[in-house]
Copies of this chain bind each other. A is one copy, B any other.
Amino acid sequence: MDKRLEQQSALFVMDGVKGGHDGMNYGTPKKFRKKQQNTLDVATLASEVRAGNRISLSKAITLIESSNAEHKQQAQSLLQELLPHTGNSIRIGITGVPGAGKSSFIEAFGSMLCELGKKVAVLAIDPSSSISGGSILGDKTRMEELVRKPNAFVRPSPSAGTLGGVHKKTRETMLVCEAAGYDVILIETVGVGQSETYVRGMVDFFLLLVLTGAGDELQGMKKGIMELADGIIVHKSDGDNIRPARKTVQEYKQILHFLQPATPGWMSTALAVSSHEKTGLQETWEMIRAFQEKVYASNYWTIRRHKQTRDWFHAMITDHLLDSFYQNTDNKMQVSRLEEAILQGQLTVTQGVNKLFEK
C-alpha cells in the first residue's frame, strides 16, 4: 500500500467512527463521496463487529479471505482498526487422527463453554480443502447444537489455496473474532501433515484427540505430534470403552513423562472424555484453566505470543522471497534442470546453487 494513501485512509476511517454509523455523509463534497463511502464501510463494519453482530463478523471474515486486491486493502484497514481490541481470548488448537471425533468433541465442549457464559468461536484450518473441497459443507451440518447457541460462532474452513495463505487467514480471522468479544477460540486442524505445526504456532493451548489403543493410533499420526500437545484427550470413553480408555490415559501419561513438555512450566497430561455422555468436558476446561494460570504467572504466555507474532512476520517474509523467486518461470525451469544434473552426479549441489545465482 502507498504510504500517503494509507495515512489518508486511516484518517477517513477515524472520521467514519466519529461521525455516526448510518453510512450517510451529510455535507460531504460530492467529489470525495465514493472514496469516503468505501472507507466508511470499513469503519462501520469494524464497529458492528465490535458490537457483536454475527452477520458483520461473517462479512469481515469473507473480506479477509478474499483475494481481490481492493478487498485485501480494506481487510487490512479493518484489521488495523480492530488490532487494539484483540488478544483477550484463550486460543486452543485441536487436532487428532481422522475418526477421533474432533467435531463431536468441539460440539460438546463448545456448547458446555457457552452454557458457562463464554463466547466461543470455532475456526478450522484445512490446507487440503482447496483440493478436496469436502469439509466446508461438513462443518455446517456437523455442529448442530453449537451453531444454535447465541454465544457461538462456527466458521467453516477457509478455501484459500496455499498453506501459507490459510495460515495467514486463520490468524487474521482469529484476531477479528477476538475483537468481536469471543473469549475462547477453538481452531480445528482438518487436514493432515503440516497443519499441526502451523496451528501450534498460533495457539496458547494445543489439544490432541486420540482413541483407545495408543500405539496403533499414533502410527498414523505425524512425527513429533505428541510433543506439541499440552493435553491429550482419550475420546469416546463411554460404554464398554470406559475401561480401555482409562488404561490408555495411563499409557499416554507415561509416555508424556518421557517427553519434553510442549510448554515450559506445564506438565502435559491426559484425560478420558465422552462427548456422547458429556463426561470429562469440565475436567478438560479445568485443565486448560490450570494451564492458563500457570503460564500467565510465569509470563511465558506473553513471551510465546510475542514470539508467535514475530515468527509469523518472518515466515511471511520468507514466503514472499521464495514466492517471488519460484514464480519466475525461468528460475523454476533452471532449478529443475539443475536438480536433474545434481541427481545424475554431473554437478555438486554448491555448483548448482552458484549457477542459479551467477547472473
The chain A residues found within 8 Å of chain B, CB to CB, are 1-3, 6, 76, 79-80, 83-84, 86, 168, 171-172, 214-215, 218-219, 221-224, 226-228, 251, 255, 257-260, 262, 306, 309-310, 312-313, 316-318, 320-322, 325, 335, 338-339, 342-343, 345-358
- How long is the Cα–Cα vector from A2 to B355 in the complex, in angstroms? 8
Most B Cβ at <10 Å: residue of A259, A313, A338, A353 = A313
Known: A224-B223, A321-B321, A345-B84. A172 touches B258 (CB 8 A): no
Q: Is the CB of B343 within 8 A of A306?
A: yes
Question: For residue A258, which residues in chain B have a CB less than 8 angstroms away from its CB?
Answer: 214-215, 218, 251, 255
Given A214-B258, A226-B259, output 16 extra A-B contacts at Cβ < 8 Å. A3-B355, A6-B351, A76-B354, A79-B350, A79-B351, A83-B348, A168-B350, A172-B350, A223-B224, A223-B228, A223-B262, A224-B224, A306-B343, A309-B349, A310-B343, A321-B325
A312 & B358 in contact (Cβ 8 Å cutoff):
no
Residues in chain B near residue A342, CB distance under 8 A: 309-310, 313
Nearest chain B CB to A226 CB, angstrom units: 8
- Is the pair A223, B260 in contact by a Cβ cutoff of 8 Å? yes
